[in-house]
Structure formats: structure tokens, C-alpha cells
Structure 1
Amino acid sequence: MNENIENTPEIPEIIKIKCEGIEALFQKYITKLADPLNDERNKNNFSIMDISALANIKIDCIYKQENNEEIYNLILHINPTIYKKLNNDTEKKKRIIDIIEFILNRIKQAFNIEKINFQIEQQISYEQILEPKNTLIINGIKGTPQYTFDNFIVDTSNELAYHYIKNIAENKLRDGLTVLLYGPTGLGKSHLLHAMINEMKQHYEGVVNFYTGEIFFSEVMDAFRKKETYIFREQQIEADMLIIDDLHFALKKANEGFISFYNNILNERINRQKWTLLTTDRHPEDYIFDIVNDTVKEYYETLIQNNTDIQTLNLYIPVRDGTTIKYKLHASFVSRLLSGMVLEIVKPTFMAKKRFFWSRLSSKYLNKDYRLTEEENRLIDIFISEVSSDFRYLNGIVNKVGFRILNEKISLKEALIQSIKDYSNFEIDDIIVNRHVEEKSLKLIIEKLLNGLPYTYERLFSTKRINPELKKIRDLIFYILMEKYFYKQKQLAQVFNTDITTIWRARKNIEKIIEKQQDEETIKLYNKLINNVYN
């Protein structure tokens, strides 16, 4: 990239444009643009960004009156994304330079500033506006390198979101949409966004603005304070992709001005079919705020007292909850958030949590060829069943287990036993992983398999004789434990105090039924149990 472009000065202060105030604003621009030329040390630092902003401002106030649609449309594309827009079209570059020169000449004529010599051809050479080697320009968050699609744990809880975001990153989808990812915190929404950015760096051409909800809210408020909302709005609209992670943090602080401003940006991006990716911790229709900005709260309470028609409001609708007033998002605003693709990420399955835990632990704290023992595998089952589904929380536990292994010089088994003590109510012997632990692990898994069915662990595995119906369920569970959880016949026989032949016979019976599809009722029951494995 040309050094002059890399060292581009900040865009000068912009006020909201009105035609009657154009001359005062242009005076600021002339001073700004003239300073580098009047200072020999900065002679070659003429700002393309300044010219871009200037050209954008001239659109409504001058070029619509010129009735030259070709020039008007061309000017619309002069902005900080100029590097991408021009590509290698020499003729277009020449036309743009001519247009910029025309604009500046109009300014000089208006203010009779003959001493200023902008020397457009000299200061803005074709080389200065060539597309840089890295054609993905990222403003804001750059994308955390360790988040990739390869290390994202995919299962039924998130697979649709995963494949859709991956398709965006690989440029397989044409028209841009508003994409909303929602679900509880810590389930991988941010991971997907960062993975997308990291993938796009390899081949994507364009400008991406990437914010957290808090930073976006802060930037908008800062633009209001500095009277720079025009340029900030244009930057968000012109960007090829706008990403706001954890938008709910902004919504909790928002006021009417913010929502109106954001609505304007979102509507324009929808009309232009540009990608806008948002994440929230729940479905927008479910947002009920107990506490909002004090000014907003006072404003709405006044409206309620005056019996104002709340359907005309843009941000919140007050809701009475006894003597308390709560707030929910206005339906018109929600509809815009839901106008494109809505993707839910739910709590991960047991197996997804286990894969996450083991992949992080083995890659960071164990040798790459480490192999789990049966005892360690059972301990991990207990541990995963007890802890939160939040991947961030689980990652913190991984770090704690790993630290114990490295710092205390103990085995993985010992570290797991200690961690189970920390995070659960199990009573575990420090030295021996005994049959009690094995049974605890199996009981948790079996109770999960029986979820939603009219059977209990105690009833199925009591010492009393059971009827044929319960025996069929028990045989199915033995089969699933061996096929899906990789328990061995000997392990199951020891825990349930039965002989290996009983376990073997159960497995063979179910295998035969599944293979030949000969018992519709058993197949249906098997499918219910399998669904519980992955939910």
C-alpha cells in the first residue's frame, strides 16, 4: 500500500449537512486541505479520505442540481472504500480525478481563493489509489486468530448457524441479508463471527466494520457529541459488511435517538442488499427490560400518564407488571432485526461439551499422542454432566485442570478428581476411581437417555425381576452405551452386577432388530433414546 494512503489524516469534524450551511463547512474543508500543501514537510500527505468526505457532502447540495446522473452515481462511490471500488479501471480513475478537481474548483471560485493550488494530478497520482495487496479492510475488531471454523465444535445445537456463516465467509451467497444469531452467552456466536473474518482475510475484497454492541453504542453517542453523525452513518452504510456482536448491550442503553439512527442505517443496508450480521443473547421479541436509561424511563412514564399512543413510538413499548413498568422492544424495530436470516444457537449436547473439553485440554496441556484411559473417560463424563453449558465457562475449567497438571505435576486422573470435587457434589476417593464413580457416570447418562420417557433408572436396574417391556428398554440402553458411549461389555457387567452373556445377548438382539427393521415399536423407542443422546 502507498505510504501516503497508510498515513492518511483523520477525517475532519463533520456537522450534519444542510444546504444553507454548506459554505461554513466548506471553509473548514478548505483550511484542512490547504494546510498540508502550505507546509513543505507535509506536502505529499494530501488526504484521499478528506476528498472522499468532501465529495459525499456535495452530493445532495450540488450534484443533484447538476442533473448529471452519471457523475452523481460515480460520486456516490467516492468514499474510504475507494481502493476496492476503482480496482484497475484507469478510465474511471481519470474521471474521478476530474470530478474531484471540478468540486475543488467550485469551492475556490465560491470563496475566491486564488492562492490555493491543489494540484490534483500531482498530489493524487494513479499509484496512490491503486487497490492494496490486502483487499479486506477491517475497521474495529480485526478477528481473533485462534477462532477458526476448524476448531468450532459443530453439533445439532449450532450446525445450521455454522454452515450459513461459513457459506458467507466462502462467498457462496450472493445478495446480502441481515443475519441475526441469537442464543445464551458463551455458546459460540462470537467464535463464528471471528472465524468468518479470519476466513475472509484469505480472499474477500471489501470493507468490514466490526463492533461489539457496547463499542457501537459508544461510537454513535460520540458521533452525536461531536456532531459527526453524517460521516459515521455513511461509513456504516457504505461498508460491504457491518457486524455488531452482542447488540443487546447497546439496546439496554439505547434511547430514541440511537434507535432512530440505527434504524436508518439498517434500512439503507437492507435496501442495498448488504450483509449485516448481529448477535443477541435472546430472540428480540423476548426482550423485556426491567431497567432502562433513566431519561428514557422518565420519558415513557410521562407518556403513559398522558395516555399517549405508544404504538407511534420507535424504541420501547411500556408494559405494566403490577405496579412496575417494564419495557419491551417495539414490534417495528424487531421486524427489521428479523428481516433476513434468523439463526438460533441453543445449549450444546453432552457430546459437544465433551468434545470441546477434550479438544481444548489435549491441545493445550497434554502431549498430542495422549490416549485417555477408561477411568479418565468416565471421570470426564461425570465432570461434563455437572458443569455449565457455557463454552467460555468450560474453557476456564479446562485452563484450571491444565494448570493443575502442569503446576502440581499430577496426572490427568488426579486433576479431574480434584476438579469434580470443586465443581460438583460427588464424594470421590483421591486415590481410587472406584465402582461408585463408574456407576455415577452411567446413571447420569442413562437418566439423560430416559428423559421424557415414563421410566426411571431405579426401576430398570433394580435387582427385582422386570417385565418384557422394561427388559426391552434395558437392552436398548445397553446397546446404546456400547455403540454411542463406547462402554465395554465387561464394564457394564461389573457395574450392573450381571454376567457378560446377558450384556452380549442384549446387544445381539437389538442389532438384529435394527438391521432388519422388524419391530416397529422397538425401532421407534430406539429413535427416541437416540434423540436424547444428541439433545
Structure 2
Amino acid sequence: MSETSAAHTWNLILEEVRRSISPKIYNTWFLPIKPLLLDGMVLTLEVPNEFFLSHLESNYLSPLKDSVRKIIGPRAKIDYQLSTDDYKKPGKLKTLRSDKTQDKPDRQSEIKNPFVIPGIKKVTIDNNLNPSYLFENFIEGHCNRVARQAGLQISQKPGDLFNPLLIYGDTGLGKSHLLQAIGNAVHVNHPKLQVLYTTSDRFTNQFIQAIRSNTTNDFAMQYQNIDVLLIDDIQYFSGKAGTQEIFFHLFNQLHQGKKQIVLSSDKAPKDLKEIDDRLISRFKWGGSLELLSPDYETLMAILLAKCEEKQLHLEESIMETLCLNLKQNIRELEGIIVNLKLQSTVNGVQIDSKLVKEVLTSFSNRAHKEVNIESIINIISEYVKVPVNSILGKGRTRNVVQARQLAMYFSKKFTNKPLSMIGAAMGGKDHSTVIYSCEIVESLLETDRNFEELFRKLEKLIVKTLGVK
């Protein structure tokens, strides 16, 4: 049928709709809609934008469906298209001119899009990527080197290596940045591939909407068309059996099709609670890589990059104070930089040590907490079952030497003490011994899996016990 028939039918539908809703709702959420085509029992409508459609179907779908079926017939259906123009102010609907040469919409291509709401005809999916999250501005250090390199390899050959890749670690260490850096790099290296970044919460909400609108098949089909799927915070799938079930089947479909899957979590797969064992086993198929708290040098590099980005100059002593007090949360560091910039610009105050302490205190009550070398030694001694006097002595057995080296390394990482003082606290060693011990620890982390596991457990124990940042 012609556009004229669509416009006439839509005017009749509007008359029905306005009987069941308030004038304000009618003017805001129905008048901006434009009828495009009436093809049998299918009415195609153009809506201004994604938000508009999401709100319309979430709140006013019932009166709309009732009116459409009353005017067109009980088997009538609605299809949607997004407007190519900007949002238009509500106005009276005008009857459109008939254009006999107008092509009808391709019925086969009208796959419903769960990324907005079921029902949109949209060939290209918005990848949801933040273009500022790139590998180039993801500062590499020992804490994240392996994960970053794995991400780079994936972006060059998606679906070939580390599939799936699960990146886990505490909040604020760069998991979301790394996931989106992978997506942005794939988009550049392989522009024809369909990339999607989403969160577990958004995935769940889309699935719920698909159930409500009886379009779960369309939901699954759209996800199966994705070449690189990036899902953040999968720990929030916990306890959601329906979401886990559909994701399990989706995972299998994508993996069998050699489509790349990258996930993030705040815990390692084995520590995820109320997640189906079938999913846990699949998370382990590729690689599970942990992002750790950055060391002093990496944090300083991140701070320098952030200051350059924000065009903020800080004295070296102030930068040292920030790095020594914010060792766990890069996101928190960025927030503090923004806060300092705001204080400096708006209030016209100089960024000095006093202001930095005030800002640090407002972000965390742990700021400037002194960590004692003796406390670190005691924690290591108790965990590895090596007496404190052995760690401080001159014993050369393997377990004693290793405990001593770990104590020196963590004392350097978690305290604001010079190397000479750390050495003196370790039974009168000099600073060169501390440097050598730290180098040994870093070397073992890269070559000895058992040592790395011990190191990670001790690091978490020290952080938890002493409340260090």
C-alpha cells in the first residue's frame, strides 16, 4: 500500500490512542511518530531516536498495540525505523504524498535489534565503544602487561587466540578500558567485523525485554551475528538462571563459529558464586588473566599521562604523595586529578601538599596510612611458616631466602621507606641487596607459576590485613 494509506491509517490509530492517555503523553510520545508504510498487516513507523522508542515501548506499548489491532486487525504488527534526522518537535501529522516508485522495506532484513529494544530495523549495531579507550593510552606495567599483550594479539587476530579471554581484578584497575581498547583496535584492524561492548546488566535487561515482547529468538539471532563480543562485569550474572542459560547457548554458538569473546569480572572464574558450572568451565577454555594493583613506577606513568591529558602541572613531591597513597584504584586517581584541576581552576587556589591531603582525605579515609615494615614481615612469616628471626638472619635455605626477598619487595611496594631503611630492617642488609631481591622476585613472577600464585596470595593478604592502598 502507499504512504497515503499509512498516513490515513495512522491518523485513525492516533484518534484511538488519545482516548486512553493524557494530552501531555499524547503530544510528547505519539505526535512525533511518522508513518512510513502499511504493507498488509504490518505498519512501519519512524521514531526520532533510540531513547524515544525505548521509552515508548516500555511505557505505552499496550494502548498502541490495542489501537493498531482495532484499526488494522487482530493480527496486525508494528515495525520501527529510526529517523535519519534529528529529533523533531511534535506537530500535527500531515498526509504524505504517494510515491509509487518508493521501494518497500526488505522484510528479510528486518531483524529486531535488542541493543535498543526489540522491533528496530537497524542494519548496523552501535558498538557502544568509548573512542577514548585505546591501547595507546592504556599504560603498561608489570601489573597488566600480560593482559594488555593478549588484548593486542586478539585485536590483530580475533577468534584465533585466547578465546574466550577473561580479564579479572579489583575495581578501578582498567578492565573496562582494556575491553574497549580491544574493541576499538578490532574496529580499526578489521572494519567489516561486527563489534559490541556491553555490560552484564544491560545484557540481562535486554533479555528481560525480549521475554516481555516475545522476541527472544530475535534477541539470540542478533547476538549470534556479532563477531567480537565484549561483556563487562559478568559477576552480575550471579543468581540469574535465565540469563545464564541463554548466554550459555550464545557462548557455544559464537565459540563454534570462531567469534571472539572477551569478558571481565572482579573475581577469577573459580571464585565466581552462583554461576552455572558449565559457564565456569567455558570461561577457562581460553585465558584468565588478572589485573593487579599498579606498582609505584606504573602508577607514576599513569599519573603523568593523566596530567598531560588534563593539562595539569603538579610538583614532583605532590605526584609522589599521590602515587604512594593510591596504589589500588586507577579510577580513583583520575577522580582526584579532576578534583584538583577543578579546585585550581574554579577557586583559583594553588595545588600544594595541603590541598592534596584534603582531596585525598575526601576520597578515602585510608590516605596517608603508614604501613609498617615489621607488619609485612610478620604477615609473610606466618603465611609461609618461616620464623621472623630466620627472615632477618643470614640463612640461605630456599624457603628462607624466598621469604626474605618477598618481604623486601612488598616493603618497597607498600611503604614510603628508602631502600637503605628497608635493608636495615631486614637484619642489616644494604640497599643493593634490596634492589637485587626485588629483581629476583620480578624475574620469578615471569618464569615460576607456583611462585606467582604465592606472590598473588601474599599481596592480597597484605592489602586486606593492613588496609593499604
**How many angstroms apart in 1 are the aligned matches of 2:409 and 2:271?**
38
SS at match of 1:394: helix
Residues 231, 335 of structure 1: alpha-carbon distance in 2 compared, 3 angstrom cutoff: same
Deviation digits for residues 127-167 of structure 1, max 9, x if unmatched? xxxxxxxxxx54351x1122111221222222221111111
Residues 348, 280 of structure 1: alpha-carbon distance in 2 compared, 3 angstrom cutoff: same
**How many angstroms apart in 1 are the aligned matches of 2:372 and 2:146?**
28
Deviation digits for residues 71-123 of structure 1, max 9, x if unmatched? xxxxxxxx987xxxxxxxxxxxxxxxxxxxxxxxxxxxxxxxxxxxxxxxxxx
Q: Counterpart of 1:361?
A: 307
Give the C-alpha shift of residue 402 in structure 1.
Answer: 2.9
Which letter does structure 1 place at the counterpart of 2:272?
Y
Residues 206, 400 of structure 1: alpha-carbon distance in 2 compared, 3 angstrom cutoff: same
Alignment pair present for 1:192 and 2:178: yes
Residues 45, 188 of structure 1: alpha-carbon distance in 2 compared, 3 angstrom cutoff: farther
Out of 270, 281, 300, the position equivalent to 2:266 is: 281
Residues 243, 194 of structure 1: alpha-carbon distance in 2 compared, 3 angstrom cutoff: same
Q: Counterpart of 1:164?
A: 150
Matches within 5 A, 1:17-36: none
Contact preservation (8 Å) 1:206, 1:240: yes
**How many angstroms apart in 1 are the aligned matches of 2:172 and 2:207?**
26
Matches within 5 A, 1:47-446: 47-48=105-106, 50-53=107-110, 137-141=124-128, 143-171=129-157, 174=160, 177-204=163-190, 205-252=192-239, 254-256=240-242, 258-288=243-273, 328-367=274-313, 372=316, 375-376=317-318, 378-384=320-326, 389-406=328-345, 407-420=347-360, 422=362, 423=364
Moved more, 349-358 or 231-240: 349-358
SS at match of 1:202: helix
Residues 365, 329 of structure 1: alpha-carbon distance in 2 compared, 3 angstrom cutoff: same
Moved more, 38-47 or 214-223: 38-47
Give the C-alpha shift of residue 339 in structure 1.
Answer: 2.8
**How many angstroms apart in 1 are the aligned matches of 2:205 and 2:160?**
32
**How many angstroms apart in 2 are the aligned matches of 1:340 and 1:174?**
10
Out of 440, 443, 446, the position equivalent to 1:527 is: 440
Give the C-alpha shift of residue 449 in structure 1.
Answer: 9.1
**How many angstroms apart in 2 are the aligned matches of 1:184 and 1:359?**
22
Give the C-alpha shift of residue 29 in structure 1.
Answer: 8.5
SS at match of 1:40: coil
Out of 35, 40, 44, the position equivalent to 2:98 is: 40
The count of aligned residue pairs is 340
Residues 285, 45 of structure 1: alpha-carbon distance in 2 compared, 3 angstrom cutoff: farther
Structure with higher helix content: 1
Matches within 5 A, 1:504-523: none
Contact preservation (8 Å) 2:244, 2:275: no
Contact preservation (8 Å) 2:46, 2:80: no
SS at match of 1:403: helix
Which letter does structure 1 place at the counterpart of 2:295?
T
The normalised TM-score by structure 2 is 0.56
**How many angstroms apart in 2 are the aligned matches of 1:80 and 1:159?**
38
Which letter does structure 2 place at the counterpart of 1:208?
V
Give the C-alpha shift of residue 209 in structure 1.
Answer: 2.8
Which letter does structure 2 place at the counterpart of 1:357?
L
Q: Counterpart of 2:466?
A: none
Deviation digits for residues 7-28 of structure 1, max 9, x if unmatched? 9979xx9xxxxxxxxxxxxx86
SS at match of 1:329: coil
**How many angstroms apart in 2 are the aligned matches of 1:484 and 1:186?**
19
SS at match of 1:206: coil
**How many angstroms apart in 1 are the aligned matches of 2:136 and 2:148?**
11
Residues 8, 426 of structure 1: alpha-carbon distance in 2 compared, 3 angstrom cutoff: closer
Deviation digits for residues 418-452 of structure 1, max 9, x if unmatched? 3455545789xxxxxxxxxxxx98x7689769973
Q: Counterpart of 1:74?
A: none
SS at match of 1:180: strand
Give the C-alpha shift of residue 484 in structure 1.
Answer: 10
Sequence identity percentage: 20
The runs of 5 or more residues in structure 1 that have no matched partner are 14-26, 55-78, 82-136, 289-327, 428-439, 461-466, 515-522
Out of 380, 389, 397, the position equivalent to 1:452 is: 380
**How many angstroms apart in 2 are the aligned matches of 1:445 and 1:411?**
31
Which letter does structure 2 place at the counterpart of 1:40?
S
Deviation digits for residues 377-402 of structure 1, max 9, x if unmatched? 543354235xxx12222222222233
**How many angstroms apart in 2 are the aligned matches of 1:529 and 1:238?**
43
Give the C-alpha shift of residue 468 in structure 1.
Answer: 7.8
SS at match of 2:220: helix
SS at match of 2:292: coil
Give the C-alpha shift of residue 408 in structure 1.
Answer: 4.2
Which letter does structure 2 place at the counterpart of 1:418?
E
**How many angstroms apart in 2 are the aligned matches of 1:529 and 1:274?**
35
**How many angstroms apart in 2 are the aligned matches of 1:187 and 1:526?**
24
Q: Which has the larger radius of gyration?
A: 1
Which letter does structure 2 place at the counterpart of 1:338?
K
SS at match of 2:141: coil
Which letter does structure 1 place at the counterpart of 2:440?
N
SS at match of 1:185: coil
Which letter does structure 1 place at the counterpart of 2:220?
R
SS at match of 2:380: coil
The normalised TM-score by structure 1 is 0.50
Contact preservation (8 Å) 1:139, 1:210: no
Residues 506, 269 of structure 1: alpha-carbon distance in 2 compared, 3 angstrom cutoff: closer
**How many angstroms apart in 1 are the aligned matches of 2:214 and 2:279?**
25
Which letter does structure 1 place at the counterpart of 2:326?
I
Give the C-alpha shift of residue 413 in structure 1.
Answer: 3.3
**How many angstroms apart in 1 are the aligned matches of 2:367 and 2:281?**
48
SS at match of 1:392: helix
